[in-house]
Amino acid sequence: MALAMNLNNFRKEIDNIDDEILALFIKRMKAVKEIADFKKANNLPVLNSGREDDIINRLCLNSDDNMKEYIKKLFSTIFDISRIYQNDILKSNKR
């Protein structure tokens, strides 16, 4: 029974963290939209791979070595989603 209680506590903690991640993801995507609007108005391309590499390198710099590959995968996925969203905005007639 004690093990189940600990597992439930861990799961509640994960649920809380997931809620925080979701809120931050929504906040990030709002910023991505602003960037897409700027790029659309100024006829700039979506992809800036140098910037993405710089961000991943910065984030990995102060992380544990065993987490670096996971950080790279996570942020590569976030960047992919952000580019898809920006491309959708650039293709639309809406601003």
Q: What is the CATH number of the domain that holds 26?
A: 1.20.59.10
Number of domains comprising the chain: 1
Q: What is the pTM of this model?
A: 0.85
Q: Would you write out the chain's pLDDT as a tens digit for each of its 95 residues?
A: 666 678 899 999 999 999 999 999 999 999 999 999 999 999 999 998 899 999 999 999 989 999 999 999 999 999 999 999 999 999 986 54
What pLDDT shows up at residue 93?
A: 66
Residue in 6, 88, 90 with CA at minimum distance from that of residue 40? 90
What pLDDT shows up at residue 14?
A: 97
Residue with tokens 């006829």: 43
What pLDDT shows up at residue 1?
A: 63
What pLDDT shows up at residue 86?
A: 96
Residue in 34, 46, 37, 39 with CA at minimum distance from that of residue 81? 46
Instruction: State how far the Cα of 90 lies from the Cα of 45, in Å rounded to an integer.
Output: 9
Domain residues for the domain of 86 are: 2-91
